[in-house]
């Protein structure tokens, strides 16, 4: 039937989201991402395209036909979904994926570039300080196995942050960008602290997408559509990860709308409604393209669409339909290739590792050659299919073969379950995996009985589907394969059931690791099962369907209600914000790693969410050394520790309780919420850099003229050149025995090697000391014992004017260009 006002509204909303998404990715790739500008560009382009498109697509077919009561019912479902999703979790801590995404959002909003510059490291010129910084901040930066990846993958900086080019102090985030870009965009509207509401938006959109998708799959049955929407609205897995900032819900939204627009195309073609076919396919491809830029796992979808193309070429005699499908699948492949190219350039370490892990077992050491052969074969196969499909016998054979495949699909699923239960048995009740570093040592799942058995992905999937849904789906597999739409759905989802049964087959604890079930397994299995129940006939079947549906909804709602106890990670932002509130953007924070149990968890947001300069230290000597260096570059220096510090010249500012609430880590669906799941104490000190610098000078005998803490007179603003009479005051440098005072210059004075013309003399505590001589650009003076302690040093010399010497246009009278003084 004709397009409905609601679907028209959804169409323009999704067009806006797609256009804004691609604009954001492009802007980031160009290094000019600005949330406000991207939002304005997306809105402008959407309106620019919508007005000419609207007259053409307003007659596009849709299965939606709603009255006022239906609209109210849909809004009620969305309100129910929002009830379980209000108050998303502001997880800013590092060390896990969700925190990395939030820190990516903040960094992108602040700097708008795909690569990160280490603001501390890039200003370090002192070799010892640089070695100290690198020793605490970089892992595997000299790994010989990655020598061929120089300037692309040079090690790890923090969890989720890789070293791209160490010589340029350049890092790169781990993940694909679209999810954090949307958090940055929403954060611009409602404040960065509320950026997780982007996930709330996509969560509600995913419920809408499944409602629309079910309509297209059930010939417009609004009850079927409403039921799947209710199931998603109250499902505990969907509810939790609608608040926990990882990509699963965002990815699900894009794939669901991708399938929705593709099914609208399919149904429009089936009902001979030719309006806006190109528009529907374009929207579908655009949605899957956004998915490709959200998660790296897009390659798992391509075989499904490739199979659709081959089947269409073999069995359809309609040339126009063939062209549409071939063009559509080709665009999907092109968009995926673009996402791969993006990943290999702007997220190379992550892409390199994922593709190696994913394809190494399949292609071995001959990956490039075999991938090239595969690419050629995949290009040739559609051509062959097209050429032979014109022969009736070939088409008949292909049709019979595909029908046999369809009849085997339920048994394929049963075989997958046998594999899954057998592996679960091996894990829980044998010592097969006892020596596995993860299953045996890290998680203690091997030979743990039912604890290990129930920690496998298929068993956990059954929990989040509900046992009733799982049993119904087994029955549904024997019915769904009777038509092409159901067959396509089965082929798609069975691939993922095999994946969780054989590859991603364990879930050490929930909720965190259960998220891998959310993008496909749970929602699409629910969808197919619900669509099948539409066929229930007879009073007994309908009664069983009603009772079963009520039980499933209550089962989901009960577990989702446990999430209302509190917010995951609650308290962490408040604690870290107290630290951030004491610092300015130009200050330096020293992070004492001694006994710091949550180092990466706390350091990551301090640097990338709040935007502060952080330098790791691990000893009192480090504090003295780094603080002395920092006086030349930062106005204030602070120290953060997880225990009291007893270093002189530091003042305690705050003793901050670091609290973090959270749900239990368990092998069942979590029920217990702990308000004080993590409680630590953070000690924030301010360093008296002036006193500390004096101590360092006394200890090392080195006076750094560039340091703002050294009191000088008679120097120009660059703290380098004297005006012929430079004085250093405020010193307290005791020394024993006779010593030598070394004055190190840069050597830019043309008379530095001619002591007669230079006429330099030095006064210590007002008394002239003898010149011993010079060596290159260094001058040496004798320090007698009675001048200890040194209070002031005055350096007098002849001056020159660079312009008069034809050196440059500088008209100042310059004496000596002093870098530092040192007592030997």
Q: What is the CATH number of the domain that holds 819?
A: 2.60.120
Best CA proximity match to 175, nearest among 88, 293, 17: 293
CB 461 within 8 A of CB 522: yes
Q: Which two tokens stand for residue 635?
A: 């106005």
Do residues 656 and 713 share a domain? no
% helix, strand, coil for the chain, step of 5: 60, 15, 30
pLDDT of residue 367: 64
Do residues 594 and 622 share a domain? yes
Q: Is 732 a member of any domain?
A: yes
Half-sphere exposure of 419 (CA within 13 A, CB side): 16
Q: Please, which residues bridge with residue 172 across strands?
A: 115, 162
Q: Is 811 a member of any domain?
A: yes
CB 21 within 8 A of CB 13: no
Number of Cβ within a 10 Å radius of residue 276: 22
DSSP H helices, 430-456, are: 450-453
CA angle centred on 528, ends 522 and 532, rounded to 5°: 140
Do residues 787 and 708 share a domain? yes
pLDDT of residue 112: 94
Do residues 603 and 657 share a domain? yes
Do residues 653 and 739 share a domain? no
Number of Cβ within a 10 Å radius of residue 8: 16
Q: Is 510 a member of any domain?
A: no
Q: Please, which residues bridge with residue 506 across strands?
A: 456
DSSP structural state of residue 743: E
Which of the listed residues 693, 713, 731 is the one where a domain comes to its end?
Answer: 693
CA angle centred on 26, ends 20 and 27, rounded to 5°: 85
Q: Is 384 a member of any domain?
A: yes
Residue at token pair 């097969």: 432
Do residues 726 and 786 share a domain? yes
Q: Which helix (H) or strand (E) holds 399?
A: helix 392-429
pTM to 2 decimal places: 0.88
CB 641 within 8 A of CB 682: yes
pLDDT of residue 689: 79
pLDDT of residue 1: 52
Ranges under pLDDT 50 in the chain: none
Q: How far apart are CA 824 and CA 817, in angstroms?
A: 21
Which of the listed residues 364, 390, 416 is the one where a domain comes to its end?
Answer: 390
Do residues 683 and 711 share a domain? no
Q: Is 130 a member of any domain?
A: yes
Q: How far apart are CA 136 and CA 131, in angstroms?
A: 9
Could you give the number of structural domains in the chain? 4
Do residues 674 and 709 share a domain? no
Do residues 140 and 172 share a domain? yes
Q: Is 722 a member of any domain?
A: yes
Do residues 757 and 783 share a domain? yes
Buried b / exposed e across 724-751, counting CB within 10 Å, b at 16+?
bebbbeebebebeeebebbbbbeeebeb
Angle of helix 197-217 versus helix 521-533 axis, rounded to 10: 30
CB 301 within 8 A of CB 290: no
Q: Is 712 a member of any domain?
A: yes
The burial of 668, by beta-carbon neighbours within 10 Å (0-12 exposed, 13-18 middle, 19 or more buried), is given as middle
CB 236 within 8 A of CB 559: yes
Do residues 618 and 722 share a domain? no
Q: Which two tokens stand for residue 226?
A: 């409403």
Do residues 653 and 713 share a domain? no
Which of the listed residues 362, 390, 418 is the one where a domain comes to its end?
Answer: 390
pLDDT of residue 54: 73
Q: Is 742 a member of any domain?
A: yes
pLDDT of residue 271: 80
Phi-psi sector, 47: left (phi>0), alpha (psi -120 to 50), beta? alpha
Q: Which two tokens stand for residue 521?
A: 């397994």
| Domain, as residue range, for 628 | 572-693
């Amino acid at each position: 039937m004709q397009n409905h006002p609601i679907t028209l509204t959804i169409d323009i909303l999704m067009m806006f989201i797609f256009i804004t998404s691609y604009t954001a990715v492009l802007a980031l790739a160009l290094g000019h991402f600005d949330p406000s500008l991207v939002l304005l560009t997306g809105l402008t382009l959407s309106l620019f395209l919508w007005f000419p498109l609207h007259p053409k697509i307003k007659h596009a077919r849709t299965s939606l036909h709603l009255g006022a009561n239906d609209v109210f019912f849909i809004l009620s479902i969305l309100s129910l979904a929002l009830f379980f999703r209000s108050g998303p979790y502001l997880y800013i801590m590092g060390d896990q994926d969700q925190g990395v995404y939030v820190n990516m959002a903040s960094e992108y909003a602040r700097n708008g570039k795909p690569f990160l510059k280490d603001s501390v490291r890039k200003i370090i010129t002192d070799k010892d300080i640089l070695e100290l910084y690198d020793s605490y901040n970089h892992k595997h930066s000299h790994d010989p196995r990655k020598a061929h990846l120089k300037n692309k993958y040079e090690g790890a900086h923090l969890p989720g942050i890789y070293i791209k080019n160490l010589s340029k102090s350049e890092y790169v985030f781990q993940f694909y960008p679209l999810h954090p870009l949307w958090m940055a965009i929403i954060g611009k509207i409602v404040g960065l602290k509320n950026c997780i509401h982007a996930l709330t938006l996509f969560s509600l959109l995913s419920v809408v997408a499944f409602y629309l998708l079910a309509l297209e799959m059930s010939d417009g049955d609004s009850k079927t559509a409403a039921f799947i929407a209710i199931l998603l609205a109250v499902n505990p897995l969907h509810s939790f990860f609608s608040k926990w900032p990882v990509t699963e819900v965002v990815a699900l939204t894009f794939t669901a709308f991708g399938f929705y627009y593709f099914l609208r195309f399919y149904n429009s073609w089936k009902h001979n409604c030719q309006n806006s076919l190109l528009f529907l396919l374009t929207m579908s491809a655009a949605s899957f393209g956004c998915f490709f830029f959200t998660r790296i796992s897009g390659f798992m979808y391509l075989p499904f669409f490739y199979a659709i193309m081959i089947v269409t070429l073999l069995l359809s005699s309609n040339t126009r339909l063939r062209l549409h499908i071939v063009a559509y699948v080709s665009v999907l492949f092109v968009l995926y290739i673009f996402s791969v190219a993006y990943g290999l350039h702007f997220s190379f370490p992550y892409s390199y590792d994922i593709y190696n892990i994913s394809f190494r077992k399949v292609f071995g050491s001959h990956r490039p050659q075999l991938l090239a052969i595969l690419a050629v074969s995949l290009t040739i196969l559609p051509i062959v299919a097209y050429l032979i499909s014109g022969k009736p016998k070939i088409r008949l054979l292909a049709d019979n073969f595909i029908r046999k495949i369809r009849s085997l699909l339920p048994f394929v699923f049963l075989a997958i379950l046998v594999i899954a239960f057998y592996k679960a048995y091996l894990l829980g009740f044998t010592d097969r995996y006892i020596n596995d570093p993860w299953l045996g040592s890290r998680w203690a799942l091997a030979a743990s009985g039912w604890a290990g058995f129930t920690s496998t992905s298929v068993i956990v999937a059954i929990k989040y589907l509900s046992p009733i849904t799982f049993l119904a789906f087994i029955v549904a597999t024997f019915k769904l394969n009777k038509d092409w739409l159901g067959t396509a759905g089965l082929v798609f989802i069975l691939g993922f059931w095999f994946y969780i049964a054989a590859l991603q087959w364990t879930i050490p604890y929930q909720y965190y690791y259960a998220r891998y079930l959310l993008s496909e397994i749970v929602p699409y299995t629910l969808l197919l099962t619900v669509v099948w129940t539409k066929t229930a006939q007879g009073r007994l079947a309908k009664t069983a369907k009603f009772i079963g549906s009520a039980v499933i909804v209550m089962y989901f709602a009960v577990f989702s209600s446990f999430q209302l106890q509190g917010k995951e990670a609650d308290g962490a932002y408040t604690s870290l914000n107290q630290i951030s509130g004491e610092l300015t953007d130009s200050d330096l924070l020293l992070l004492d790693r001694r006994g710091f149990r949550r180092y990466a968890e706390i350091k990551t947001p301090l640097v990338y969410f709040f935007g502060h300069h952080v330098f790791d230290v691990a000893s009192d000597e480090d504090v003295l050394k780094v603080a002395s260096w920092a006086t030349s570059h930062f106005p204030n220096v602070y120290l953060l520790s997880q225990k009291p510090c007893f270093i002189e010249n530091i003042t305690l500012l705050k003793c901050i309780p670091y609290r973090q609430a959270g749900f239990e880590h368990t092998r069942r669906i979590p029920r217990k919420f702990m308000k004080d799941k993590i409680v630590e104490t953070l000690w924030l000190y301010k360093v008296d850099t002036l006193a500390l610098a004096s101590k360092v000078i006394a200890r090392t005998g080195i006076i750094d003229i560039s340091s703002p803490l050294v009191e000088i007179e008679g120097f120009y603003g660059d703290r380098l050149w004297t005006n012929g009479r430079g004085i250093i005051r405020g010193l307290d440098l005791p020394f024993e025995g006779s010593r030598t005072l070394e004055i190190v210059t840069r050597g830019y004075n043309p008379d530095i090697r001619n002591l007669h013309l230079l006429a330099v003399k030095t006064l210590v505590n007002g008394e002239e000391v003898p010149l011993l001589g010079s060596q290159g650009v260094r001058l040496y003076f004798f320090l007698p014992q009675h001048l200890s302690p040194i209070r002031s040093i005055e350096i007098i010399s002849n001056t020159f004017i660079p312009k008069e010497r034809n050196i440059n246009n500088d008209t100042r009278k310059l004496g000596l260009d002093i870098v530092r003084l040192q007592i030997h």
